[in-house]
Structure 1
């Protein structure tokens, strides 16, 4: 089923609350900008206890729909800008041109709020699994997460540089041979890199 079809189920007062909550979770499966569980957690923060409260459930859906609409509007603006650039002879985008298709972990409409919530969720629910050994690169990411959350997103120039070196190191670890030799480590690195991207978004660097 489509996002819109599930959204109609969420809004249908004839359905039992449990079915409507399940439909909202299906919407989140299809649009989960900061991950499935973190997105559900943010919706509860924004809307209230939607599992048992109908008004909160509708507010949660409205928040999700608003973010999805903002994302689609940004894609349309980007497509229009690219069409205009092509008419001027610029066939390919420049590497530093903003491209919404490259954004990961980005809550459209409130990117900093979404990223900070995702970081808090990660630190509470997944930190131990992603940082079992806390090697120097992992320690840099952990330090930047803590600094970002403590400051409400802001990072100093030194912290931004620390984050950039950690991102480069994590990118280097996502080599095909790592996937072949240790897929568990590869996926853990991929997820930790997403955490670093959340820090970039929260700090206004993405």
Structure 2
């Protein structure tokens, strides 16, 4: 089913609340610009004043409105990207720029409006930090002593940086913003082209680091956004 079909189920008052709640989760599965779990945490936090999406159907509809507005902005970005790529290809530029919205490895990004919700991003980072802390460490047999030391250092820096961001309630200082960007670079440096067992762990770290980097740099907007 499509995103639109799931959205219609969310709005269908004839359906049981559990089915409408499940339809919203499926919609997030179709479009989750921060990743599924981070997007869900973002929506739950911004569906004020009662962010219980399982029982409060008004909050559920507010969450859907937020998701749909972001998706509409995303579709506009995609259309603009397609138009620009046609011009670039005609000029002989065959490879998209890394920052383009349809680049092969697209970082977390909440399209639309004057900026993402600070409250939503704080909730998303808190959600992913909790998961990051549960991720098993790589098998030591895959690592040299020096590489293991570097990775444990990166792990600790990432957790500490996330803690600083959350302590600041989404208003980090320049040092935290710089550290988040440096951690993304540091993790990327250890990735190996193609399949490698270590990459399984590092990609999980990288996704969290990129979310934190995006959240740390995003402009702070009002609590309700």
Asked if Structure 1 and Structure 2 have the same fold, meaning a TM-score greater than 0.5 normalized by the shorter chain, the answer is: yes
Q: Which residue does 2:162 correspond to in 1?
A: 145
Q: Which residue does 2:216 correspond to in 1?
A: 203
Structure with the larger RCO, 1 or 2 (CA within 8 Å, 6+ apart):
2
- 5+ residue gaps in structure 1? none
Indicate whether 1:154 and 2:172 are aligned.
yes
* Match among 58, 63, 66 for residue 60 of structure 1: 63
Q: Which residue does 1:23 correspond to in 2?
A: 23
Quick one: structure 1 residues 54 and 94, their matched pair in 2 at CA, closer, same or farther if it must change by over 3 Å?
Answer: closer
Contact 2:180 2:216 (8 Å CA) reproduced: no
Distance in structure 1 (CA, Å) of the matches to 2:25 and 2:193 = 33
Instruction: Tell me the TM-score normalised to structure 1 length.
Output: 0.80
Length, aligned pairs only: 197
Map 1:19-98 → 2, pairs under 5 A: 19-47=19-47, 48-86=51-89, 89=91, 91-92=93-94, 95=97, 98=99
Map 1:124-139 → 2, pairs under 5 A: 125-130=130-135, 132=137, 135-139=152-156
Distance in structure 2 (CA, Å) of the matches to 1:34 and 1:153 = 19
Instruction: Tell me the TM-score normalised to structure 2 length.
Output: 0.74
Contact 2:165 2:176 (8 Å CA) reproduced: no
Alpha-carbon shift at residue 132 of structure 1 (Å): 4.9
Alpha-carbon shift at residue 41 of structure 1 (Å): 2.1
More helix, by proportion: 1
Contact 1:107 1:115 (8 Å CA) reproduced: no
Distance in structure 2 (CA, Å) of the matches to 1:119 and 1:144 = 11
